[in-house]
Amino acid sequence: MCQRKRALTFEKEKRTVIAMNVLINIIINAIAVVVAAYVLPGVQVETFTIAIVVAILLSILNTFVKPILVFLTFPITILTLGLFIFVINALLILFVSNLVPGFKVHSFWSALLFSLILSLVSSFLHALAK
């Protein structure tokens, strides 16, 4: 009985830690969205709440849609030595821009630069969080 109670407690703590890590990652990515939008003149984010929505949508799309797109565009990705991945990232950002009111990306090139800056800032913030 005592082992079962400890096992249940451990599982509950494990789920709590996972949920906290997901929340921390979303907040870090939202901060990265705000910083990238501040740096680029072609990208606008109205509020931090919208940045959180953008971070959540980008996370969902990167988890479920991006692998399918990478698989479907594998030949062109090989021909471009992997640079086509940047195009996929920019297209996903433009898609999120069309979905979320209050998040505006004015051009493909702004989306491409936004994805690069977002990756750099997000990596830097994740390194600081550890």
| Sequence ranges of the domains in the chain | 2-129
pLDDT at 9 over 80: no
pLDDT tens by residue, 73-94: 999 999 999 999 999 999 999 9
- 99 or 4, which is more confident: 99
User: In what helix (H) or strand (E) does residue 44 lie, and over which residues does it extend?
Assistant: strand 43-45
Q: Cβ-count burial of 125 within 10 angstroms (0-12 exposed, 13-18 middle, 19+ buried)?
A: middle
pLDDT tens by residue, 15-71: 888 889 999 999 999 999 999 999 999 999 999 999 999 999 999 999 999 999 999
Q: Give residue 4's pLDDT.
A: 67
Mean pLDDT, residues 91-115 = 97
Residue 2 pLDDT level (bands cut at 50, 70, 90):
low
103 φ/ψ angles, rounded to the nearest 5 degrees: -120, 110
pLDDT at 1 over 70: no
pLDDT at 110 over 90: yes
Nearest CA to 76 out of 86, 65, 61 is that of 86
Q: Which position has the token pair 């992997």?
A: 82
Residue 6 pLDDT level (bands cut at 50, 70, 90):
low
